[in-house]
Amino acid sequence: MNEYLTREIWKMRKNIRTEAGTPVVSLVRVENKTYQLLFMSCGCENACTFCNYGFDYNLTLEMVKPELQKIKLEDFDIVELELESNGSFLSEREIPYDLFLEILHFVSNRNIPVITMETHYNTITEKKLQDIRRILGEEQEIQFEMGFESADEDVRAIYNKDIDMEKYLEVTRLCKKYKIGLQINVLLGAPFLTREEQIQDCLNSLEFIYGKMPKGTIAVLFPINIKKNTMLKHWQDIGVYDQISSWEFVELLHRIPEEYLDKFTIAWWGNRENTFTKGIMQFPKTCDKCRERLMKFYVDFYCNCNPHYRKKILDEIWTTRCECDKK
């Protein structure tokens, strides 16, 4: 990681605090029947230019267990449960190991089809994978969502994201050994690149994922969101970066080969405005005329993984794209 960027990003993050009284853990609906069990941890130890993970609580088992037991998962129709913290769920700095094991016991035997954990690749060890399988069982479908952002080292440098690619690939193989699925995050909208370069970077990253990582790995495509108290927001404020267009995201999806159309999902296209109030986060740009149509398209695309259907709706929306994308 770049020393100067890291230092400046940590200064910005010191301004990020959750409101007093915020629960240490909460259940949040994300989309359809996907929910997050969110733990307000002490914050991510990495310093990416686009991220605003702040500082909350130094969590302990004694602090979290009583609050966790108040959450009645059985009252919700949950198809996927995401276990999340303010950074990496498998980080012992954020989630002490005794608390980690307690959470696993809490969500086990709940008849939840999919349990997903978001974490940095360097927090994953074989012992943790063994404990996850021991507690959740061999039949539970488990996914790890891991940041990757780009296969290009120079683009990752813009994001201030340091990845040892050999170790990253080794971790993906270790997850495969324990039958843990992988969701690998890819970002569209790197600063200082042209629109074409941004799109091509994502296409190249998909090729890398499907060529180098275990069979069955799912890419998660994110159009970049601009968040307060980030280097990305600072670059916007001084006029060297701006929001990407939502139509750029559609163009990327439209250019993905049909053979890959059932091998990835999408996120953060503008579907979290109910969770994050305006002023905290800027989603990809749309105009008033096309916004509702785009949001309906994204939900349709997200909910249906059939490659032929996805190709059909992509062709339909791209060939009738809004004038706001041509300005």
Domain locations along the chain: 3-325
- Alpha carbon distance 119, 87 (integer Å): 7
**Protein fold of 3-325:** TIM Barrel (3.20.20)
The pair of structure tokens assigned to 155 is 């683009």
DSSP structure string for 278-289: BTTEEPPB--TT
pLDDT for res 39: 95
pLDDT for res 45: 86
pLDDT tens, position by position, 114-124: 999 999 999 99
SS3 220: strand
Put residue 294 in one of left, alpha, beta given phi > 0 → left and psi -120 to 50 → alpha.
Answer: alpha
pLDDT for res 10: 83
pLDDT for res 226: 94
pLDDT for res 159: 97
Report CA 177 to chain centroid distance, whole Å.
23
pLDDT for res 22: 81
pLDDT for res 198: 98
Low-confidence ranges of the chain (pLDDT < 50): none
pLDDT for res 308: 97
- Alpha carbon distance 37, 39 (integer Å): 7
Among the listed residues 91, 122, 264, 301, the one whose alpha carbon sits nearest the alpha carbon of residue 185: 264
The model's pTM is: 0.92
Among the listed residues 76, 73, 72, 96, the one whose alpha carbon sits nearest the alpha carbon of residue 85: 96
